[in-house]
Amino acid sequence: MRFTVVGAGAIGGTLGAYMARGGEDVVLVDRAAEHVAAMRSHGLTIKAFDGTFTVPVRALNLEELDGPLDVVLLAVKAQDTSAATRAI
């Protein structure tokens, strides 16, 4: 099963990074092109209470999202919900 996390900020990025580190098939989707480019180039670094880790992740821009999608986790700010749900 593939998980798609739409919104790779503080909540979605953290969730997606832990899932990727745990071996789940996950793709992170974000509207900020520079953030997607950084995740593609350097992975995603999480600074948590129990330490810091960097995990390679698959990252897409919102416009690159293509289905079918198995499980979608929506983690966007309220003002971005409409655009994100249209893309999904």
In tens, the pLDDT along 8-28 reads 999 999 999 999 999 999 999
The proportion of the chain whose per-residue pLDDT surpasses 90, expressed as a percent, equals 86
CATH of domain 2-78: 3.40.50.720
| Residue 4 predicted with pLDDT over 90 | yes
In tens, the pLDDT along 24-48 reads 999 999 999 999 999 999 999 999 9
38-46's contacts with Cβ under 8 Å and 24+ in sequence apart are: 39/8, 44/8, 44/13, 44/16, 44/17, 44/20, 46/13, 46/14, 46/17, 46/18
The predicted pLDDT at position 50 comes to 87
Q: Are 26 and 19 in contact (CB under 8 A)?
A: yes
Band of residue 67 on the pLDDT scale cut at 50, 70, 90: confident
The predicted pLDDT at position 24 comes to 98
Domain residue extents for the chain? 2-78
